Chain A
Amino acid sequence: MAHTTVHFELNGQPCQMQGLASMPLLYALRERGLCGTRMGCGAGQCGACHVLIDGRSRPACDTPLEALSGCRVTTVEGLAQGQAPGVLQQAFIDEQAAQCGYCLSGILISAAELLQRRPSPSEEEVREALDGHLCRCGSHQRIVRAVLRAAAAMRQGAA
């Protein structure tokens, strides 16, 4: 089995990872102690492990190391502002948008992608953007509110 060394950008920092070329990014991240990206299904069907790869929300369980060369990767940890929650994360706290919270990392990533693309999404667009993410606790309504709240906060911050 082929080993590889890939160089890419991880949360704004240059990063080098070694391992089997086929190893999904999810396990590589967790081995480095970045455990905010979480295993849910291993098949790209639940959204729990999403990360931004060149600005697009993708399942880390389904992305082999070899595909990352030269990419820009952002994990949920990369959404923070230093040690403090980023605007999007803070909106989730403000809306108490969780029960168990296990699905949140992936959802935050897809929400970040959406707000990059559409700074003023409608509720419908938020739901569409998050449709690939499963939440079993039933926190959907709060999560949608949190994303809309973050959008408003970001617009205000930009104004």
Chain B
Amino acid sequence: MNAPAPLPASLKANPRLGQWLTIGADGSVTVRSGKVELGQGIRTALAQIVAHELDVNIERVRMVSADTAFSPNEGVTAGSLSITDSGGALRQVCAQARRIYLRQAALRLGLKPQQEAQLRVIDGRMGVPGDTAVVSYWELADPALLDRDATDLVEPRASPPKQAPRLDLPAKVLGRPSYLHDQHWPGLLYGVVVQPPSPSARLLRADVLSARAWPGVVAVVQQGSFLGLVAQTEYQALQARARLASDAQWQEFESLPDMHTLADHLRQGPVETTTVGSKTATAAPAAVAQHAASYQRPFLAHASIAPSCAVATFTPEQATQLEVWTHSQGVFNLRADLATLLGLAAQAVRVRHADGAGCYGHNGADDVAADAALLARAIPGRPVRVQWSREDELTCAPVGAAMVADLQAELDAQGHVVQWRHQVWSTGHSMRPGRSPVPVLRAASLMDPPFESQVAINMPMAVGGGAERNAVPLYDFAAHEVISHRQLRMPIRTSSLRSLGAHLNVFAAESFMDELAEQAGCDPLSFRLRHLQDERARLVLERVARWSAWQPTALAEGQGMGLGLARYKNTGAWCAAVAQVDAGASLRVKRLWLVVDAGRIINQDGARNQIEGGAIQTVSWVTKEQVCFDRTRITSGSWESYPILRFTEVPQVEVDLIDRPDQPSLGVGEATHGPVAAAIANAVYVALGVRMRTMPIHAETIARAALAA
């Protein structure tokens, strides 16, 4: 007999069925997931899983946002794992709950054991077909039934779930309160923070005493270099902030690297070096040619459309208990850091999630929660809402790490890669709250005395890694060596940005594959297939090439197509991309074709939406974006200085989603970022003969590269 399959990790860690699910006598199903809505549609996809497994109409399902008071702790909503983790857990929870309720129904209906298997469920009503006796979940509803731990795996339903449109969309298009930013509390006050003008600035002087008398101001807080105030209305708060900021004096330092020689900064230590993977050839390689190239990306901002926002309330008088509303990706993680920052026990802090705008990773959401808590402490009993400015969002939030990847390969006489070496240089990609004993929230390093500034880490490869994500080749080369160098200085805070290191590593590896193909005298598609055994990878690649009518030569003057391929994290979804570019006076990505294999698809349209969105965001990263700075300040603090892709620049995106109902579900939110980036660079090379190895790629950088070549 086979050993029973293990329970999904989220369920193993939070095994109580009743923690996830309540079946109500009122005909409702209440679901508490630890994963949160970030605009990716997870609430709808999870509701769909629940409705399907329990066989109830989706209208009955009430999704409760994550709350440290009762939700299962599922860590952070990140890494394209919510469908796998929370979806996998809920599928199992519901399959078990269904079995428990069927048992109860059999007892209530007085069925013989052999009749129990004939029970069917239609929208929560259970009965044997042809028999008039039925009983519903709602009649049998009893929390005690689910007050037990999940048992060994129950076979969930094999049929595909019924497709559902986004549950949250009607309210959002009607302009109804939908985001944390829109919520109102009785007695709500408005807090604002005067952010230091540069990452290492120290506050020398601020007119705190006068500010207390300004219109509407109810409190001014200065603690070390943390400076903020609270006012009766939002506009009063904004006006007072402008006034307070205008004469605050700061000591600033030239603590930033030269943005024009970032690669040198990343390569010049101190670094922590790790071998990520290696494979030794069985026979001595007979190399006849070799090639080396370096690839680079700048710091990238998350650049959410909504500035980060939080609401904090301390209990009156003693201020012993804190409640925080946040759009953070991890309520438990945030709670841990808030507790340390404020000197409270974790149990004294309750963190509750409400929708924000898309965050695309670890942005300012956690930081602003600390700001709100620090300001709310000055007025216990009153809720204080803090919303960052656009400039705060673009200059104070953590950013995606700048990276360099050095690739080297050796080819044998038959044009096979016999040695592949991939080295990546980067600051860490993870500085999330709750993972170190010292709080990493922005305000922590501003306190007096300050909490020591932390340096971002890379998560272990077992959970996807960070800078080294996707640095291990997908191809079956005779030998490979993959090394990661984590920069131990961090003058600009870096943390998780969608796809982490996969964006640059796949950009580098897939650009390099095209370069090697040329050296081997082979077209890029055949060259890839020659080294590729993974059947699902071969399938997506061949399919996208055929579908897009990809060709390795220019379509017309200045026009070309390029390929890119990856299996996200080497364990997630497969994605093959073709980009078509027009590199005339300006670079335009005209069209993208994407073939994705993400196993069993829960919500077809939701998955497509994520794939399209990820691809369009990547075009923006690759062709437009970089965080700019001088030696002291980050200077890209507005949409003018940090431009992103506009409607007239967006390519036509075509998606072919391979559904495999018999395979585990894999996330799709980050599958496209690497392949699309590489496909664009490869297309530019076909169009112009200029190899672009540094992002961003646009007319100006292409001209510079052409001159340097």
Q: Residues of A at under 8 Å CB distance from B? A: 1, 19-20, 23-24, 27, 30-31, 33-43, 45-46, 48, 75-77, 79-80, 85, 89, 92-93, 96, 98-105, 108, 126-128, 130-131, 133-144
Cβ-closest chain A residue relative to B613: A138
Surface stretch bound by A, among B97-105, B170-178, B314-322, B330-338: B170-178
Whether A99 contacts B235 by the Cβ 8 Å rule is no
Say whether B387 faces chain A, with CB atoms less than 8 Å apart: yes
Q: Which residue of A lies closest to B40 (CB)?
A: A99
CA distance A105 to B174 in the complex (A): 8
Q: For A105, list chain B residues within 8 Å (CB).
A: 175
- Bitwise, B605-629 to A at CB < 8 A (1) or not (0) is 1000110111111001000000000
- For A36, the closest partner residue in chain B by CB is B175
Smallest CB-CB separation from A90: which chain B residue?
B173
Q: Are B173 and A141 in contact (CB under 8 A)?
A: no
Residues of B within 8 A of A (CB): 38-41, 165-166, 168-170, 172-179, 181-182, 184, 215, 233-235, 238, 303-307, 355-358, 360, 387, 389-390, 605, 609-610, 612-617, 620, 638-640, 644-648, 650, 652-653
Contact B644 A98 (CB under 8 A): no
Given A134-B305, A138-B614, A138-B616: A93 and B165 within 8 A (CB)?
yes
- Which chain A residue lies CB-closest to B603? A96
Nearest neighbor of B640 in chain A, beta-carbon distance: A45
Taking a contact as CB atoms under 8 Å apart, the answer to whether B170 and A127 are in contact is: no
Contacting residues, chain B, for A140 (C-beta < 8 A) = 616, 645, 647, 650
CB B82 to nearest CB in A, in angstroms, measures 14
**B contact residues around A42 at 8 Å (CB):** 389-390
Residue from B174, B233, B644 within 8 A of A134 (CB atoms): B644
Are A75 and B175 in contact, with the CB atoms below 8 A?
Answer: yes
B515 → A minimal CB distance (Å) = 29
Residue of A nearest to B393 (CB): A41
Kindly identify which residue among A31, A35, A127 contacts B648, using a CB–CB cutoff of 8 Å. A127
Task: Give the Cβ gap from B168 to chain A, nearest Cβ, in Å.
Answer: 7
Q: Tell whether, in the assembled complex, residue B165 and residue A142 are in contact, meaning their CB atoms are under 8 Å apart.
A: no
Contact of A39 among B41, B181, B617, B648 (CB under 8 A): B181
Whether B639 and A85, one on each chain, are in contact in the complex, defined by CB atoms closer than 8 angstroms, is: no
B179–A102 CB distance below 8 A: yes
Q: Determine whether the beta carbon of B178 is less than 8 Å from that of A101.
A: yes
- CB pair A136–B172 under 8 Å, yes or no, is no
Establish whether residues B39 and A76, one from each chain, have CB atoms under 8 Å apart when the complex forms. no
| A102 interface neighbour in B169, B306, B614, Cβ under 8 Å | B306
| Residues A141 and B653 in contact in the complex (CB < 8 Å), given A103-B305, A108-B173, A135-B305 | yes
CA gap between A31 and B235 in the complex, in Å: 10
Contacts of B620 in A (CB 8 A): 138
Do residues B175 and A77 form an inter-chain contact, with CB atoms below 8 A?
yes
Give, as a whole number of angstroms, the nearest-CB distance from A98 to chain B.
Answer: 6
Q: A85-B173, A93-B169, A136-B358 are in contact. List 5 more A-B contacts (CB 8 A).
A: A43-B390, A80-B175, A96-B605, A134-B639, A141-B612
Contacts of B616 in A (CB 8 A): 138, 140-141
Q: What are 9 pairs between A and B in contact, CB < 8 Å?
A: A45-B638, A45-B639, A98-B173, A99-B610, A102-B39, A102-B305, A134-B639, A136-B303, A136-B358
Chain B residue nearest to A124 in the complex (CB): B648
Contact flag A96-B305 (CB < 8 Å), given A23-B235, A85-B173, A134-B646: no
Contact partners of B653 in chain A: CB under 8 A: 141
Are B169 and A98 in touch, CB under 8 angstroms? yes
Once the chains are docked, how many angstroms separate the CA of A76 from the CA of B639?
A: 23
Q: Are A130 and B647 in contact (CB under 8 A)?
A: yes
CA distance A16 to B573 in the complex (A): 55
- Which 7 A/B pairs are nearest by Cβ-Cβ distance? A36-B175, A100-B39, A138-B616, A138-B613, A76-B175, A102-B357, A101-B172
Contact between B613 and A99 (Cβ–Cβ < 8 Å)?
yes
Q: Which B residues are in CB contact (< 8 Å) with A38?
A: 179, 181-182, 306
Whether A101 pairs with B174 at a CB distance below 8 angstroms is: no
Contact assessment for A89 and B173 in the assembled complex, using a CB-CB cutoff below 8 Å: yes
Inter-chain CA distance A30–B309, complex, in Å, is 15
Contact A35 B182 (CB under 8 A): yes
